[in-house]
Amino acid sequence: MPGHHAYRLLTSRAGTRRLRHVSLLRSVHTWTPLAAAFNRKPEQKILSIFDKKRRGLFGNPLLADASGFYLLKEQAEIDSDALVREATSTERTRNVVEIFDELSDVLCRVADLAECVRLLHGESNFAQAAEEAHSSMSNLVEQLNTNRPLYNSLRKCVEKGDIKPMDDVDKHTARLFLVDFELAGIHLEEAKRRRVVQLNSRILSAGSKFLRRCYEPRYVKESQVPEEIKPYFEQDAGHLVVTNLMSDAPSETIREAAFRAYLMPDQHQLEPLKDLLDARNELAHLVGKKSYSERANQESIFNNVGTITSFLNTLSEKIAPIAKEEYVQMLALKKRLSPQATEVYPWDTAYLTALLRKEGDSGMDNAKLSQFFPLGACIDGLSHLFQSIYGVRLAVEDTSAEDLWSPDVYKLSARDENDEVLGYIYCDLYERAGKAHQDCHFTIRGGRQLSDGSYQTPTVVLSLNYQSPSGRLPSLMPLWSIDNLFHEMGHAMHSMIGRTRYQHVTGTRCSTDFAEIPSTLMEFFSGDSRVLSRISRHYQSGQSLSEDILYQALESRKQFSVTELQQQAFYSILDQAYHGSTVPKDLNATFAELHAKHVTVQYVHNTAWQLRFGHLFSYGARYYSYLLSRAVASDIWLGYFKKDPFDREGGVKVREGLLKHGGGKPPLELVSNVLQHKPDVQELVSALVQNTKKA
Whether residues 179 and 222 fall in one domain? no
User: ∠ at Cα 33 (507, 551), nearest 5°?
Assistant: 70
Task: Report the first-to-last Cα separation within the chain, whole angstroms.
Answer: 48
Whether residues 220 and 257 fall in one domain? yes
pLDDT at 19: 32
Other CB atoms within 10 A of residue 615 CB: 15
| 53 within 8 A of 64, measured Cβ to Cβ | yes
Whether residues 179 and 221 fall in one domain? no
- Note the pLDDT tens digit of each residue in 316-341: 999 999 999 999 999 999 999 999 99
Instruction: Say what percent of the chain tops pLDDT 70.
Output: 94
pLDDT at 437: 85
pLDDT at 117: 96
Q: Is the pLDDT of residue 2 over 60?
A: no
Q: Domain span at residue 104? A: 61-188
- Local structure of 562: helix, strand or coil: helix
Whether residues 241 and 140 fall in one domain? no
Q: Which residues of 133-169 are buried (b: 16+ CB within 10 A; e: fewer)?
A: bbebbeebbeebbbbeebbebbbebbeeebeeebeeb
Full DSSP string of 144-165: HHT-HHHHHHHHHHHHH--SS-
Residues 6+ apart with CB under 8 A from 511: 297, 299, 300, 301, 625, 663, 667
Whether residues 138 and 205 fall in one domain? no
Tell me what the mean pLDDT of segment 215-231 comes to.
92
- Note the pLDDT tens digit of each residue in 153-162: 999 999 999 9
Whether residues 66 and 183 fall in one domain? yes
- Note the pLDDT tens digit of each residue in 99-131: 999 999 999 999 999 999 999 998 999 999 999
Q: Which of 43-52, 110-119, 618-627 has the lowest mean pLDDT?
A: 43-52
Question: CA 179, CA 666: separation in Å to the nearest integer?
Answer: 13
Active-site choice (98, 256, 488, 523): 488
Is 579 part of a structural domain of the chain? yes
| 259 within 8 A of 604, measured Cβ to Cβ | yes
- Note the pLDDT tens digit of each residue in 569-583: 999 999 999 999 999
Mark which of 188, 213, 235 sits at the end of a domain: 188
Helices marked H in 264-419 — which ranges? 267-286, 292-296, 305-337, 349-359, 366-370, 375-389
Sheet containing 440-445: give its strands across.
Answer: 393-396, 409-415, 421-430, 459-466, 440-445
pLDDT at 43: 76
Q: How confident is the model at residue 692 (pLDDT cuts 50, 70, 90)?
A: confident
Question: CA 14, CA 73: separation in Å to the nearest integer?
Answer: 63
On average, the pLDDT of the chain sits at: 92
pLDDT at 8: 27
Q: How confident is the model at residue 359 (pLDDT cuts 50, 70, 90)?
A: confident
- Note the pLDDT tens digit of each residue in 243-300: 999 999 999 999 999 999 999 999 999 999 999 999 999 999 999 999 999 999 999 9
Q: Is the pLDDT of residue 361 over 70?
A: no
Is 11 part of a structural domain of the chain? no
Q: How confident is the model at residue 17 (pLDDT cuts 50, 70, 90)?
A: very low
- Largest Cα separation within the chain, whole Å, is 84
Q: How many domains does the chain have?
A: 2
For 57, list phi and psi in degrees, rounded to 5: -60, 140
Whether residues 203 and 300 fall in one domain? yes
- Note the pLDDT tens digit of each residue in 540-598: 999 999 999 999 999 888 889 999 999 999 999 999 999 999 999 999 999 999 999 99
Question: CA 630, CA 521: separation in Å to the nearest integer?
Answer: 7
Q: Give the CATH number, domain containing residue 166.
A: 1.20.1050.40
| 600 within 8 A of 324, measured Cβ to Cβ | yes
- Note the pLDDT tens digit of each residue in 630-650: 999 999 999 999 999 999 999
Is 547 part of a structural domain of the chain? no
- DSSP state, 287? T
Whether residues 205 and 166 fall in one domain? no
Give kind and range of the element (H or E) at residue 78. Answer: helix 68-87
Q: Is the pLDDT of residue 28 over 60?
A: no
- Note the pLDDT tens digit of each residue in 131-146: 999 999 999 999 999 9
Q: Give the CATH number, domain containing residue 265.
A: 1.10.1370.10
Whether residues 182 and 163 fall in one domain? yes
Is 358 part of a structural domain of the chain? no
Is 92 part of a structural domain of the chain? yes
Q: How confident is the model at residue 13 (pLDDT cuts 50, 70, 90)?
A: very low
| 561 within 8 A of 694, measured Cβ to Cβ | yes
Mark which of 581, 603, 618 sits at the end of a domain: 618
Write down the pTM of the prediction. Answer: 0.92
User: ∠ at Cα 635 (633, 638), nearest 5°?
Assistant: 110
Is 654 part of a structural domain of the chain? no
Tell me what the mean pLDDT of segment 407-434 comes to.
96
Instruction: Say what percent of the chain tops pLDDT 90.
Output: 86
Mark which of 154, 188, 222 sits at the end of a domain: 188
Question: CA 200, CA 186: separation in Å to the nearest integer?
Answer: 13
Q: What's the CA dihedral at 634, 640, 642, 647 to 10 degrees?
A: -140
pLDDT at 12: 29
Whether residues 290 and 234 fall in one domain? yes
pLDDT at 44: 64
Is 101 part of a structural domain of the chain? yes
Whether residues 220 and 112 fall in one domain? no
Q: How confident is the model at residue 27 (pLDDT cuts 50, 70, 90)?
A: very low
As a residue count, the chain comes to 695
- Local structure of 234: helix, strand or coil: strand
**Alpha-carbon separation of residue 591 from 539, 596, 597 (angstroms):** 49, 9, 10
Q: What's the CA dihedral at 36, 39, 41, 42 to 10 degrees?
A: 30
Question: CA 542, CA 24: separation in Å to the nearest integer?
Answer: 8
Whether residues 210 and 172 fall in one domain? no
Is 359 part of a structural domain of the chain? no
Q: Is the pLDDT of residue 9 over 50?
A: no
Q: Is 402 a catalytic residue?
A: no
Higher pLDDT, 375 or 228: 375
Helices marked H in 215-291 — which ranges? 252-262, 267-286
- Note the pLDDT tens digit of each residue in 301-314: 999 999 999 999 99
Closest to 57 measured CA to CA, from 73, 48, 71, 69: 69
Q: What's the CA dihedral at 388, 391, 397, 402 to 10 degrees?
A: -140
